[in-house]
A and B are shown apart, each in its own frame.
Chain A
Amino acid sequence: MKNTRPKLAVWKFASCDGCQLSLLDCEDELLAVAGAIEIAMFPEASSAMVEGPYDVSLVEGSITTPHDAERIHEVRAQSGTLITIGACATAGGIQALRNFADVEEFTRAVYASPEYIDTLGQSTPIADHVQVDFELRGCPIDKGQLLEVLSAFLNRRKPRIPSHSVCVECKRRGTVCVMVAQGSACLGPVTHAGCGALCPTYDRACFGCFGPTERANSASLTEWWRRELGVPEPDVGRAYHTFNTWAEPFRSAGDTKDTQR
């Protein structure tokens, strides 16, 4: 039986490690997952590194260096199914804020010896470089959704990951709308579901961790914020430009002239 288990690999590019940690945060399910799947390559959790090819690869992080732009092709070549996990891998992450700036100036601002820094001008999602079979969103991903994607893979079915907006999740939970009731500038109407509408249940406006939902009408939302809530222009730009800043339509919606230096 043992040798017939599918082989899993977990890869890291530019990221905070939080999305791969989600797998270790599945305290109740981790050992069951390890029983059903051979965790063949997961350097953060194991010093045993089994060689490829792998049936499924989870890829965390964005592409930000020339070396990583090559390495992702090696990962793709060794992977049957390639699933990206989290905002960095699916949208370029918060480090994609450099895409609107001068990366050389950024380097000088942070590092004493900029000549040692080998970095690309842009932080880009994995799908800009190789074919991706499934993108799981979130900053961080939801561990329940991660388990759903893995079991869907094991059972050769399509993952049940809803693509509606956070607003639908609020309605389902019966959470009072923070934009209507409190006048908060909420990104819920244009943000992909997945968190369970967490922020509004904590009396806070959604700030877009899961990135744009399908057919997000950010132009309409922005207009509402400006006209009805009087949100200043720089705040509009900053709201769209966080963890999913490089994903359209957040990218253009937030690219107001005041927001980036």
Chain B
Amino acid sequence: MSERRTIKVDYLARVEGEGALDVLIENGIVQDVKLKIFEPPRFFEAFLRGRSYSEAPDITARICGICPVAYQMSAVHAMEDACGVRVDGPLRALRRLLYCGEWIESHALHVYMLHAPDFLGRHSVVELAKDHPEVVERGLRLKKAGNAIVALLGGREIHPINVRVGGFYKIPPSDEFDALARQLEIALEDAHATLSWVTTFDFPDFEVDYEFVALRHPDEYPFNEGRIVSSHGVDIAAQDYHEHFEEVHVEHSTALHCRLKDRGFYHVGPLARYALNSDKLSPGAKQAATRAGLDHVCTNPFRSIVVRAVETIHACEEALRVLANLERPDRPYVDVPVRAATGYGATEAPRGLLHHTYRIGADGSIESARIIPPTSQNQATIEDDLRRFVAPRIALPDDQLQWQCEQAVRNYDPCISCSTHFLKLNVVRR
């Protein structure tokens, strides 16, 4: 007689967007793992056609309320690439500062509100605050500091209004940057305390030999630019992405998965960035990573929370460095004369590589758009993690196994709202 067990999570909590999880175990063997996405399609790439190139940052920001800066940054870089313009100097530095803000805000959100409750057996940050108010207050303060950067330079935390192709609409007054630096000094202390805190968590024994994919830049830990590299030898410009990567319709899941051509799935996000760039971390973040017991490569996805904490320290130090060396640009933006061309932009969203491709006409209107968000690149990897993770833990009772499976999904901080590339699967809802 065959024994059939199904671990079902009808509505994944503490992820951004709507998803579900099914694990089918038959006779002690994991038969199927499905990370189901029922986020309704919103058709950004379709309605971007006919819009002006200048609208791309404002419109694509609306793909994701958690990481709008990432969408704005990939969009402006792609448009500038199409038009043959390079934004450098103080404007480039200010874009890095803005991205630091989003990393701090988004990492703090994930570490404290979405992921830490898993390790501590709590359902939410509010529950966590009952026993550890000072810890939660620290997390909120850290998150607020990241948001303060985005609010100052972007105008507001969610869907900033100050980003344009070529730079910014306005550079905020200098004294407001000074106040920001004081807030970030405290945030840096909070980020160190965050790292000390998450290193005390218990991590399941689980290592995977991933192919890591991230940007790499000769001088800096990557935010806005760099070559797309992998732990298994990829080293290409953003312009060559589509020659090496593809989105395929996988039979077993009816979902579009991103994969490296002829090779298969890969891993983007903090673990990948760290594995490929740990030598470029700020001095304080580098030392902190060593103190936290991280090697140069971390292949346990449950420890991504530790790497996020290290990256948060880096983002605070980098933001302070930018602020300390801040020169006011002569103008808030450079002119970007349009031409008929195709442009590519790849930046590091908090959750990983975010690639945009646009073809624009001579009048600057968008003829085609392709957006590859990090979570669609990680989807096949998440399912593979679950297959590997469940197999040796089949003896666990259902509720415990379910909790750990959900946690394994949340390792990726999946942002399902960035759903432009997800297909609807066969979903059962209660």
Contacts and interface: CB of A to CB of B under 8 A. Distances in A.
B49 A261 contact: yes
A14 B40 contact: yes
Contact of A202 (B58, B147, B155, B158): B155
A180 B109 CA distance: 41
Given A30-B126, A45-B125, A195-B156, 7 more contacts: A13-B40, A14-B40, A21-B65, A45-B14, A94-B59, A116-B424, A202-B170
10 contacts: A17-B415, A27-B140, A27-B144, A31-B140, A67-B429, A107-B46, A109-B49, A110-B46, A140-B156, A242-B59
Closest 4 CB pairs of A and B: A18-B65, A46-B124, A48-B123, A47-B13
Interface stretch (B15-23, B96-104, B188-196, B316-324): B15-23
- Secondary structure of the B contact surface, majority rule: loop
Contacts of A140: 65, 156, 158-159
B43 A106 contact: yes
Q: Which of A30, A103, A111, A119 has the most CB of B within 10 A?
A: A111
Given A24-B113, A27-B144, A43-B11, A18 B42 contact: no
Given A24-B113, A27-B147, A98 B43 contact: yes
B424 A98 contact: no
A25 interface: yes
A99 to B, nearest CB: 10
Nearest to A62: B40
B147 A18 contact: no
Nearest to B143: A27
A17 B17 contact: yes
B197 to A, nearest CB: 18
A103 B42 CA distance: 10
Nearest to A15: B417
A198 interface: yes
Given A18-B65, A95-B42, A203-B169, A46 B126 contact: yes
A72 to B, nearest CB: 12
A27 B423 contact: no
Nearest to A245: B47
A42 B126 CA distance: 11
Nearest to A43: B13
Contact of B46 (A27, A109, A195): A109
B343 interface: no
Interface in A27-68: 27-28, 30-31, 34, 39, 42-49, 64-65, 67-68
A168 B350 CA distance: 37
Given A17-B66, A19-B65, A110-B46, A199 B155 contact: yes
A131 interface: no
A106 to B, nearest CB: 4
A110 B14 contact: no
Contacts of A109: 43, 45-46, 49
Contact of A25 (B14, B18, B157, B332): B157
A27 B40 contact: no
A260 B50 contact: yes
A250 interface: no
B12 to A, nearest CB: 8
Interface string B6-50: 000001111111100000000000000000001111111111011
Contacts of B256: 111-112
A116 B50 contact: no
Contacts of B126: 30-31, 34, 39, 45-46
